[in-house]
Amino acid sequence: MSNQELEKARAELRSVGADFALLSSGANITYVSHYEVPTEFGALATLAFVPPLVLIGARDHTAVLITPNSYEAPARAQVDGFEVVAYEPVNWFDPVDGRANFLNLLHDTLKAAGVSGAVRLAVEEQTLPFAALQRITETSPQAQLVDATAPLAAARLVKTARELDRLRHAADVNKAGHTELLRQTREAGKNEFDMWAAVINAMEKAAGHPLMVFGELVTGTRCKMVDYPGGPKNVITQPGHLALMDMSPRVDGYWSDTTNTMVIGGVEPTAKQTRYGVAAREAFHAAADMLRPGNQAKDAYFAAEATFERHGLKIGHYAGHQIGVTVNEAPRLVPYDETPIQAGMVFSIEPGAYEGPDGEVGARMEKSVIVHESGPEIICDFEWGF
C-alpha cells in the first residue's frame, strides 16, 4: 500500500506551487516518512549537528530522510518509501567535523534531487536550522522559498485509515493508565509519585515498550486551578480529596491525550465536587455531539460553555483540539475557530471548570473522539470519575 500521508502532503504542496519541501519539524517528518522522530536529550541532542530533515518532491518521487548516523538504523527500519542518508556528527575515537559532514550531505542531497534553478522550495519557518538555510541559498541561489506550514497542516487535517489505527492504539495504551489511576485512588494514603509510577508502568506494559509521556497528576486543593506543571509531587493523598490526571503518551509516533477527575478513598463526593465533576462530564458529551460534518469547531466550544453555564459555572479554557503526530493540533475548539468539521478528524475534547485561587475544587474531563458521518466515536473510553 502506498504511503498515503506522503501523497497527501505532496498534493497540498502542489496546491501552493511548491516543487519540493525540506521539512524540519519532528511532527511533519514523522507524518510523511513514518519514522518516529525521537525527542532528543542527552548526548545525541547536543552532539548531532541538527535533528533529522526530510526532502520530498511535490511533483516527483523524491523522498529522502537526512539523519545523524546515530538514528540511521531505526530510521531505515521504520520509513515507508524513503531513502535514508546519514552523516557522522561525532566520533568517540577520532575528531570529525560534524557541521561540515551535515552541510556536505545536504548539498549533495539537494543537487541529486534537482533542487536547482528557479524551483519553489517549501520550508518550515519555525524549525529550519539556520545552517541548512545558508546551505540552501548557496546550493540553489535562485530557489524561491515558500512556507510549508499551511500545506502540511492541511494534509494532516483529516486522518488516514493508518493514522486512525495508530490513534486507537495510543488511546488503548492511555486507557490502561487511567484504569490504573482509578485503582490507585480507591484508597487514600498513597504518595503521588508512587501513583504516577504505577500509571506509567501500566501504560508501558500495554504498549510493550518505554514511552515518551507528558502530563500531570494533582490531588487535593491543587485541582482548583490549572497550575502547570502541577505534579506529581511528594504529597500523600487524603480521603475525600480530588485527583485530576491529564495524561499524554506518545505511542509509535502518535499521541493520546485524556483527563479524568475523581474522589479519593471511596468517599462520597461533596455537593460542590459533584457539581464541577458532573458539569465537566456533561460538557464533554455536549461538545462531542457537535463534532459532526456540517458543523464548525467553535460549535463544540459553545456547547461545552453552555453546559457549564447551566450548572452555574464558567468554562476555564478552550474545549479541546485535534490530535495526531502532535498532542495539540489545529483546529482547536475555541469560540473563533470556524474550521468545518469533517469525517476522519480526531479531537481530544477537554472542557474544565475551576473554582480559582481562593477555592478548593475543579474538574476537567477529556477523551478523544473520531468524527464519523453518523456521529462521534469515543476512543480511550475509560470509566469517568463522576
pTM of the model: 0.95
CATH class of 161-379: alpha beta
pLDDT in the model for residue 1:
63
Number of H helices and E strands in the chain, helices first, is 11, 17
pLDDT in the model for residue 374:
93
Give the pLDDT of the chain (386 residues) as one tens digit per residue: 689 999 999 999 999 999 999 999 999 999 999 999 998 777 877 788 999 999 999 999 999 999 999 999 999 999 999 999 999 999 989 999 999 999 999 999 999 999 999 999 999 999 999 999 999 999 999 999 999 999 999 999 999 999 999 999 999 999 999 999 999 999 999 999 999 999 999 999 999 999 999 999 999 999 999 977 789 999 999 999 999 999 999 999 999 999 999 999 999 999 999 999 999 999 999 999 999 999 999 999 999 999 999 999 999 999 999 999 999 999 999 999 999 999 999 999 999 999 999 999 999 999 999 999 999 999 999 999 99
Name residue 64's beta-bridge partners: 55, 83
pLDDT in the model for residue 160:
98
User: Where on the phi/psi map is residue 42: left (φ > 0), alpha (ψ -120 to 50), or beta?
Assistant: left
Q: Is 367 helix (H, G, I), strand (E, B) or coil?
A: strand
pLDDT in the model for residue 47:
80
**For residue 163, which phi and psi values (nearest 5 degrees)?**
-65, -40
DSSP secondary structure, 181-204, as one string: HHHHTTSS--BHHHHHHHHHHHHH
Architecture of domain 4-156: 3-Layer(aba) Sandwich (3.40)
* Rounded-to-integer distance, Cα 371 and Cα 377, Å: 6
Every domain of the chain and the residues it spans? 4-156, 161-379
User: Which residue, among 69, 66, 82, has the nearest Cα to 33 in the 3D structure?
Assistant: 82
Q: Which three cell numbers stand for residue 43?
A: 548526548
Which residues does 165 contact at the CB level (< 8 Å), separation at least 6? none
pLDDT in the model for residue 385:
97
DSSP secondary structure, 283-313, as one string: HHHHHHHH-SBTBBHHHHHHHHHHHHHHTT-
pLDDT in the model for residue 42:
76
* Rounded-to-integer distance, Cα 260 and Cα 350, Å: 10
**For residue 384, which phi and psi values (nearest 5 degrees)?**
-65, 150
> Residues for the chain: how many in total?
386
* Rounded-to-integer distance, Cα 118 and Cα 141, Å: 8
pLDDT in the model for residue 25:
97
pLDDT in the model for residue 101:
97
